[in-house]
Structure 1
Amino acid sequence: MDELGNRLGEQLEVRSAMEKVQQRRGMSAGDRIAVRYAPIVSLSDGTLYGYEAIPFDAEANASWDSSLFYAESEAEGNLYDNDRRFRELAIRGVPAGPRAVKLFLPVPARIVYDPRLYPGSTLGRIEAAGLRPDHVVLLLSDESDGHPGTLHAAIRHYRTQGFRIAFSGLKTGRTALERMVDLKPDYVRIGTEWFPRTLRDPAGESLLQAISALARKEKIVLLADGLEREEQIRPLMTYGVGYGEGLWLGVPSETPRSVDPSVTDRIRQEMRRRFRGAAGALLELTEPAVTFPSSTPVTEIARFFEIHREAPGFVILKDGKPVGMLMKEKLHQTLARQFGLPLYGNRPVSKIMDAQPLIVDESTPVEQLSQTAMAREPDKLYDAVIVTRKGEVSGIVSIRALLEWVTTMRMSNAQWANPLTGLPGNEPIRRELSRRLDEGRPFSVLYADLDYFKWYNDQYGFHRGDDVIRYTSESLQAAVRKYSPDDSFVGHIGGDDFIVIFDYGNPVRIGEEMLAEFERGISSFLDRTHGPVRDRSGTPVEGASLSLSLAVLSCQVTEGWTPERLAEYSALLKKAAKTRLGSALEWETLEEFHAFAERKGLTVR
């Protein structure tokens, strides 16, 4: 029923488009065709990745929805001619060069059934414009003719010519996901219906996380469309969506434009914030790079590969700057094709190199690089990464070295993780506190301790006690996701003690929300016949029950403080909170340590 409804809806859209054609006066669709270019930007480093060619109605002076454009053309009986004209205009307007970006070109899938279509017609136009097939991504966006095999036929037709394929407008339904998995396009463009609607939208985040995980599993690159506000980039970057398009990133223009520097800076700033303090120096993984000018003949590169069999790939330079990468495997694939050597042997390496390699500065955290590298197209996943220092090549990083580092780090983190909650343990906690203190920026730290947990363990048994520990962990994490999702850290010190570290804001309110989150469900772990609650000495405590005591430290000034001093003073605050019945919170705003200690009468060690 879902698929039938979708088809009926598509047919109604086509009928509506045809009715508009009947009402329209003036030029035909073919006479009105123009092109606008919408920038597609990398959400890893803010650089320009490509452009989407958008049909533009010259008569109405407005952008043309591609499905409407093709529907009008088909209603006029000019689908083939108008599609040809649009492709020619779009390809002709894209700048060529050694760092040519990708062109996402809308194509009606049903055009493959036109008898006038023959393989190689688009290839010829691309080569005449100085581009290569891998520079062009065909954006298939319809199957409105009702034939379920239309997309299959279009994909077969264009993939045999070396084009990459993208799907547009993935719907949030089972049928659309099954089609994506079945057809396996190289790219899938998702709209705002996949985005979280607000900064605190757990359901929206889960939906985005699910499609991102499915895309990774199927080796499909996601492209987010409809980015109109800066805050939309955060969840997309968190879940590894590689590229974006929308008015915030750049408005469609008559000629292709570069990305606004303020947009690039903002994306890089957000990426640095996400990986601030991440472990691992890229220099430790960097190997020396062999470089060649972009004008070097392919045969010379091939001879060098034969002599230096251990080299995985070479960096290609132009004017001393890296503009491409050629991996040994890709070279062999190219030359092994029919007529490969005669076609490319004497041509410059710039004709077959990857003109969009992954290039990072040596200051990039390894964790950030691993996420960026894994968001690449499937055929680039194992390509080496070019590392630069002040724009000059300083070396390359192999994916093998990168994966080994990630594996080692995960094993190290697992060693310190609490086996009951899975949260980071004492060593990661110490590193995180030290990082925050070293940065010198304001932050807040919250220490949480369960009250009467020993009594609960004795009364109900350690199995149910473990359940309470897990519930406390989940409550703290849920509150962090809801009220302080950015750059937060939740750790398990041990036993019934937890720690939460987050950016400075309104820490008292966040602490109160954590108590509320805890109180919402803790009563479900208690029976009515449990008898009196007793303290550690066995003395009954009237009116007491399982509760949570919080000590919140607002570190406005970090000078003089250490992780140990923070822990010592938080113990005093927790002790004060525990003197009150029920869940309670004590907080303090910290200043420079020695002045604070003198004012509080603390012993300075």
Structure 2
Amino acid sequence: MHSWTDTLRFAFQPVVNLRTGGVAALEILARPESGDILAEARRDPELDGRLVVSALRAAVRKETMLPLHINVFAATLADLGGLTPLRDAVREAGRMPWEVTLDVVPPFAHVPQQALLEAVAALRGQGFRISADGIGDGDVPLRLLTDLAPDLLKLDASLLARPAAVRAMRTLCEQLGALLSVEGVETELQCAAAMSAGAQLAQGELFAPPARIPMADVYVPPRSPAHGAVPRSDPSVREFVRPAALLPVTASAGQVRALLTCSPDVSGVLLVDQAGVPVRSVHRSRFLLTMSGRYGHALYADRPAVKLGDPPRTVGVDATAWEVLDVVAVGGRDRTSDDVAVVDHYGRCVGVVRLADLVRALAETRVEEAAGLNPLTRLPGSDAITGEVDRRIADGRGFALSWLDIDHFKQVNDSAGFAAGDELIRSVGRALQQAVTGHARVGHIGGDDFLVLADEEGLQPLVAAVLEAPWSAGGRPVTLSLATVVCPPGSVSDHRQAAACLAPLKKAAKSLSGASWVLGRAGLPGLEVRRGSGATPAQAGYAAAEPLG
């Protein structure tokens, strides 16, 4: 009697990193030659659990070092309370649990949610990574999705036709610390839409179809400036993570050499302990140079590879790309090309980052930002500030948005000349930058107008720098006006509403004599005149009893 395994085959489809263009992982797909074993597995958790183990073993037979994505029905996890056979199979294969991502697939209807959450927590505690699959084409409840707190969300490509929904999922991912992937990408237009929406990963026929042999080369359309990824002030290291080549810390130099020889794309090997914590980093070029030297193979082949490694450079999975560059900058110049290991909260390696990927992406970001810089002050324009305002609102963070300008600036230009006026604007811009370095954003929105985005506690250094300093142009004293609206979490819905709250405060500040500062709070009536004298806000046409916004 034939077993169901006799007619079951598996195909492998690459999961592509849209930032680097490289293959980030392989999803393993069951391909039965007859019957509908997947429909049976949906009804039979024990069968589905055996399918998961079979998928892992199929990947092991292909000798791929890439991380693996394996599908499992949500009901299977809830019913079995975890996948003990999978944990044993991973150990037997010599792989690490965190190299395996479990794609939890629909249906979710009638699945005991508490049992599912407990099973996911147990698997995550063992080191497995969790993906929520079928978003947009399945029935996963939004509340359950947030409770699962997956490491990865996989959207169906059909959702790309609804950009608002994709942006909402991107915001949710940022809240959860998860990556966003799009499945079923078939056209370059869909790929561009995925990039524009800020997805970091994707898979589909466009890049590579499922195949019996894992594919290392994929097609990724060139990035179009019109469809760049959602700009972020501090790109996350998660966007650049590549699969790591891992060997146990007990590996010999000969084993490392064999791995590097068979894998020309591997730039280095990390030697890890039993928990998956990097202990030593072996750089490809330096290692092979030592091994190829006179008597090198005879001297080192059977010796522990740790003797030829260096202390690993590591960053946390929550680090930014700029923090990775800080790590690279520390140490000798001979190690600037070393991979940087990315570790989770337990210190276990989840991948590596290559310096070239970071430099390329950050350079693109800087080019995009430069296009929006004001040519006079080299400060970003309003788009950069309003975009950051919207991100803070989406993150549920409070902020203080300030507008500042130079009083009677036309008279400054008329009396002192435009060159003196330009120098005054540059000086104010420099003072603002120096006052808020590291904890606020400054934008020059045209003419003598500036925007500053900061936390409320960061306002005092700003005031001291621009309102308490003496300003002059062509020997004539000059004063500045500052208006601030403090927006607690939930008080405004977007940057437009914040700007609407700021407008009457600006009018009130301009009505005062001398250096002035007016502060209001979104959603609350009234304002505070913290500096300045002369006309009252009511005389300026401001209704003090009317709530801002």
Normalising by structure 2, we get a TM-score of 0.50
Q: Which is strand-richer, 1 or 2? A: 2
Question: Which protein, 1 or 2, shows the higher relative CO under an 8 Å CA cutoff with sep ≥ 6?
Answer: 1
Q: Normalising by structure 1, what TM-score?
A: 0.46
